[in-house]
Structure 1
Amino acid sequence: MPRQVDREARREEILAAAVRVFARCGYAGSRIEDIAREAGIAKGSVYLYFGSREELLRAAFEGLAARSEALLAEVGRRPGGAAARLELLVRSVMELLARERDLARVLLDVWSAGVRAPEWIDMAAFYRDYRAAVTALLTAGGERGAEPAVTPEAHAAVLVGAIEGCVLQALFDPTVDLAALVEPLVTLLVPSEEGGHTS
Structure 2
Amino acid sequence: MPSPSTPKFRRRKADRPAEIVQAALAVFAEKGFAAAKLDEIARRAGVSKGALYLYFATKEELFHAVVEQVIAPNMRAMRAMVAGHPGPISDLLGMFVARFSALVADQPVGGVAKMVIGEARNFPELARVWHDELVAQALGGLAEAVAAAQARGEVRAGDPRVYALQIAAPLIVAVIWRETFVPVGAEPFDLPPLGHQHVATLLNGLLVEGPAA
TM-score w.r.t. structure 2 length?
A: 0.75
Residue of structure 2 in register with 1:45 after alignment: 51
SS in 2 for 1:121: helix
Alignment of 1:161 with 2:169, yes or no, is yes
SS of 2:78's equivalent in the other structure is: helix
Matched, 1:70 2:77: yes
Query: What percentage of residue pairs aligned between the two structures are identical?
Result: 27
Tell me what 1:128 maps to: 136
Per-residue CA deviation, residues 15-42 of structure 1 (Å, 9 max, x unaligned), is 1111111222222112111112222232
After TM superposition, list the pairs within 5 Å mapping 1:88-127 onto structure 2: 88-100=95-107, 102-113=108-119, 114-118=121-125, 120-123=128-131, 126-127=134-135
Counterparts in 2 of 1:26 and 1:152: CA distance versus 1, 3 Å = closer
Q: Is residue 72–residue 134 contact of structure 2 (8 Å, CA) maintained in 1?
A: yes
For 1:21, the equivalent position in structure 2 comes to 27
- The offset of 1:68, in angstroms, is 0.3
Q: Does the alignment pair 1:139 with 2:147?
A: yes
Q: Is the 8 A contact 1:145 1:195 kept in 2?
A: no
Aligned residues: 197
2:39 match: secondary structure: helix
The DSSP-based 3-state class of the residue aligned with 2:102 is helix
In 2, distance between residues paired with 1:194 and 1:147?
5
CA shift, 1:124, in A, is 5.7
Contact (CA 8 Å) 1:189, 1:197: kept in 2 or not? Answer: no
> Is the contact made by 2:150 and 2:156 (CA closer than 8 Å) also made in structure 1?
yes
User: SS of the residue aligned with 1:148?
Assistant: coil
Q: Which runs of 5+ in 2 are unaligned?
A: 3-9
Per the alignment, residue 210 of structure 2 pairs with 196
After superposition, the Cα gap between the structure-2 partners of 1:143 and 1:54, relative to the gap in structure 1 and judged at 3 Å, is closer
Q: Secondary structure at the match of 1:159?
A: helix
The one of 34, 39, 42 aligned to 1:36: 42
- 2:196 maps to what in 1? 183
TM-score by length of 1: 0.80
Cα distance, 1:158 vs. partner? 0.9
CA distance in 1, matches of 2:155, 2:92: 20
Q: Please state how far the C-alpha of 1:56 moved relative to its aligned partner.
A: 0.9
More deviation, 149-158/188-197: 188-197
What SS class does the counterpart of residue 129 from structure 2 fall into? coil
On the 8 A contact 2:98/2:192 being kept in 1, the answer is no
